[in-house]
Structure 1
Amino acid sequence: MDRRDLLKAGGVLAGSALMAGGLPGPASAARAVNFRVMTAATGVAARTDRRPVAGGVHDPKAGTTFISWGGTNEDSYVQAFRHGRWSAPLKIIDGRGDSHNYPTMVQADDGHLVVVVGMHNGETVIARSPQPHTIDGEWSPRVVAEGAAASYPMPFKAANGHLFVFFRETTRTVDPSAPTDNRPMLFMRSTDHGVTWQSSKQLTGLPYVLGSTDRADNLNEIYVGQLRHQRRPERVHLAWTLAGGGPGQHRHDYYHQDIHYAWFDPDALTFHAADGTDLGPQLTNDEIEGPCKVVVTPLERPADVVSPDYIQLVGWLRNGRPFVVWFTRDAALGFHDFASVWTPRGWQTSEVATGLRTREMEQIGPDTWRVYTTVDGQPGIATYRLENGRRWAAETAIPTPKPVQRVELITCFRDPARILATGASSAREVTVADGDVYVTGLA
């Protein structure tokens, strides 16, 4: 049985593959792209499980770019870049020694920076900058009860200025009788720049907005790989995979299966399928197994054959059709990279590359996205162009002194501060923080 037998895209066999692995060479003359790499902080970054969401923002009023990252014990730090210089790292939140407790950052319409940390199955901690348009001053983190039992915060600012944070709830934290693999998605919203919050339970009257509690295979854990806010028309795109104990057992993150997609309307608080169908304020198992299904994969352990990774990237084309970039990994076959695009015939999937971790991407044309990738153990970031969610081509290599672990596009970026690239620590323990913090953009 080969990979075409194992992998099915919405019931349609995956398309042909264009293989590419390793770092590409210099860009061609027609696509010459030169990146400048800055080291914001040296030898201070710890291992992190951060998703490619909300690593930093550019503030046009202050002419300053702000970033956040995790240091020793996954303590949260912020930095500012202005007039070609980086401020010293400023610690604002204790991380309690858990690689999941990473900071994410948005900027409210009143100019205050809002940093959000989900304390891995515990509380949500919010810190607002003491003053608008700057990180200076004494930050005062506080626990927000509306974000109880939270992991993997994904904040964004809606067009009307409301702040949202999607997060995954570990239900057993609030209900000890719940199985360990009941972990649905919720959100909380602030209409006053992050000062006070309401949970999705309060806003919708529903226990969760995306997930399930009663699947026969116990895949009741949601791993959202990425959330991406589209301004016009306003949509919040989400891609995710399922996890859980599997048939006959309740175990956290034992199996992974399938790729899914939906978009969220932050005004109406409703979800929609790729074809625009209104699915209401809650995506239950019927929607997950129906209109939200992108790719069917076998029930496998993480890192086994065609088991989806924890991170998926999501984008859209000029005609409004969404696409998802995702990868699988295993010890024998390595990494395999896929692109799945919505078409009038349903989701169509192609294997586009091998050997790459797809870390983040950005739209650089109506139907063209730049994908940032890394190769395990190698310094540098490789960029590729993905056209129409199908055609994959090497673009250029961005050299970094050390390997990179995570990449996040900076919101409203201004070059040369386009992406935040957190260097890989030499150890899995967060007590070892010797990775660099890089910021790069067009020179």
Structure 2
Amino acid sequence: MTVAAAQAARTDRRPVAGGVHDPRAGKTFISWGGFQEDNYVQEYDHRRRTWSAPVRVAGGDNDSHNYPTLIQADDGHLLVFRGLHNKELWVARSPRPHSIAGEWSDTIIPEGLGATYPMPVKTASGDIFVFIRETAGDFDKTYPTDTRPMKYVRSTDHGRTWQSFPWCIAPLDRSDNLNEIYIGQLRYEPHANRIAMVWTLAGGGPEGHLHDRYHRNLYYATFSPADLHFRSAAGHDLGTTVDDGGQERYLKVAQTELQTVNPRSPDYISLVGSAEGRPFVVWMQLDEQAAVHGKAAVYRGGWRHQDLGTGARFRDMEPAGDGSWLVYATPDPAASGVDTYRLRPGVSWRRKSSLVTPQPIQRIEVIAGHRGPARLLLTGNSSAREVTVADGDVYVV
């Protein structure tokens, strides 16, 4: 279904909180970034089988980093988060529960100072965590530009008030100058009441303190909303803060070397999940010829790696119910469509199906709690890197 034609701009959104199904209302809600990355929402009425027109809920400050992410609070209200790149964290709130209709409020969250890449998660208790990255040097000039740690804010009253917490993933003063965190994906695992996450490092490498010049390594951790502690795949408790020593000793999934031809490898997007009680991660690396290589690793007393071949750019995934996962990928930046693969972590990998789309796809998000027919949110590729050009389609599969 094409739900918004030629309205989406370029976006850097990670596969987190693109849409949600509301079983009480019988509606599915999605969010996406339009002209100047302004934040839009739409709803699908499952009884009437109709889509609403797009509703603009907030401005995006003309930056592809300021994408909207959407969750539904336990009081039924919809919350759309955005970061004003390296500056502020904002939340737009629906005026009515279970609906996008009416005039949305738009308020700053002061506790989210310096926010980039907002990634919200709602826990089983209804608490809301929003993980963000802070550019420390923008507020304290003693920090170099590649000091960009993670932190989070928490709300226990459906997003009305917030608490701030100090840096939580902060590998500072590394000799390779890779002090930036790029979280690829967060995933709440209700059976264990934990948030699983995967990330890569970035920074200036051998060239000194530079922003996002090189990428290196993959790391996995879980975060417990109950005690605010981080833990490794083996269960080692790192406390409330991950420093570089703990990260390197307990959390490393894959060691990669710095490249000069394609320095931003591993990719920004990486995926995380668990299968039959074992955590696993999926990611992409580039070789010297810019070919994309898919990788996976599952934890079985140690990280066991799996080669997933070349070509596919992984965008999101979901459990298939039998210990395997469906992985959704785009075949090539210039090609249209979505390829679906079935992954049994550490065991097998095979192509399952393909879908043709009118435009090439830049982002895919699995809609949380989806109910047919609205399963996947696809954002069509805009023709330009600037968010002042908004000609990408928005599809729902």
- 1:349 corresponds to which residue? 305
Any residues of structure 2 matched to 1:179-328 within 5 Å, and which? 179-201=144-166, 208-247=167-206, 249-301=208-260, 303-304=262-263, 307-318=265-276, 320-328=277-285
Give the whole-Å Cα distance in 2 for the aligned partners of 1:133 and 1:429.
33
The equivalent position to 2:295 in structure 1, one of 314, 338, 359, is: 338
Other-structure match for 2:32: 69
Alpha-carbon deviations, 1:197-225, whole Å to 9, x = none?
A: 00113xxxxxx101222111111100000
Distance in 2 between residues matched to 1:350 and 1:190, nearest whole Å: 38
Contact 1:302 1:308 in 2 (8 A): no
Paired positions, count: 394
Cα distance in 2 for partners of 1:302, 1:383 equals: 30
Secondary structure of 2:87's counterpart equals: coil
Superimposed CA distance per residue, residues 114-154 of structure 1 (whole angstroms, 9 cap, x where no aligned partner) = 11001111100111111110011111211111111011111
In structure 2, the gaps of 5 or more residues are none
- Residue 405 of structure 1: SS of its match in structure 2? strand
8 Å Cα contact 1:257-1:300 kept in structure 2: no
Question: How far did residue 330 of structure 1 move?
Answer: 4.8
Cα RMSD between the aligned structures?
1.3
Q: Which amino acid in structure 2 is aligned with residue 122 of structure 1?
A: K
Corresponding letter in the other structure for 2:392: G
Please say if 1:393 is aligned against 2:350. Answer: yes
Cα distance in 2 between the residues matched to 1:429 and 1:331: 27
Partner-residue secondary structure (3-state), 1:214? coil
1:364-375 to 2 correspondences below 5 Å: 364-375=320-331
* Deviation by residue 1:84-133 (Cα, 9 ceiling, x = unmatched): 11100011111111111100011000000011001111100111111110
**For residues 346 and 77 of structure 2, what CA distance do their matches in structure 1 show?**
36
Query: What's the offset of the Cα at 1:160?
Result: 0.5
Structure with more contact order per residue of length (Cα contacts < 8 Å, sep ≥ 6): 1
Q: Distance in 2 between matches of 1:67 and 1:302?
A: 37
User: Which amino acid in the other structure matches residue 338 of structure 1?
Assistant: K
Determine the structure 2 residue equivalent to 1:403. Answer: 360
Deviation per CA, 1:146-175, whole angstroms, max 9, x where unpaired? Answer: 111011111010110001101111112221
8 Å CA contact retained: 2:219, 2:251: yes
Distance in 1 (CA, whole Å) between partners of 2:379 and 2:123 is: 26
SS of alignment partner, residue 172 of structure 1: helix
Runs of 5+ unmatched residues, structure 1? 1-37, 202-207
Q: CA deviation at 1:302?
A: 7.9
Q: Which residue of 2 aligns with 1:3?
A: none
**Which residue identity lines up with residue 307 of structure 1 in the other structure?**
S
State the percentage of identical aligned residues.
Answer: 54
Of 117, 121, 126, the residue aligned with 1:152 is 117
Distance 1:308 1:269 in 2: 28
| Equivalent AA in structure 2 for residue 183 of structure 1 | R
Once residues 99 and 139 of structure 2 are traced to their aligned partners in structure 1, the CA distance between those partners, rounded to angstroms, is 36
The runs of at least 4 consecutive aligned structure 1 residues that moved more than 3 Å come to: none
Native 8 Å contact 1:270 1:278 kept in 2: yes
Match of 1:99 among 64, 68, 71: 64
Q: TM-score, normalised by structure 2?
A: 0.97
Q: Secondary structure at the match of 1:310?
A: coil
TM-score, length-normalised on structure 1? 0.87
Give yes or no for contact 1:339–1:390 (8 Å, CA) kept in 2.
no
C-alpha distance 302-93 of structure 1, shift in aligned 2 (>3 A):
farther
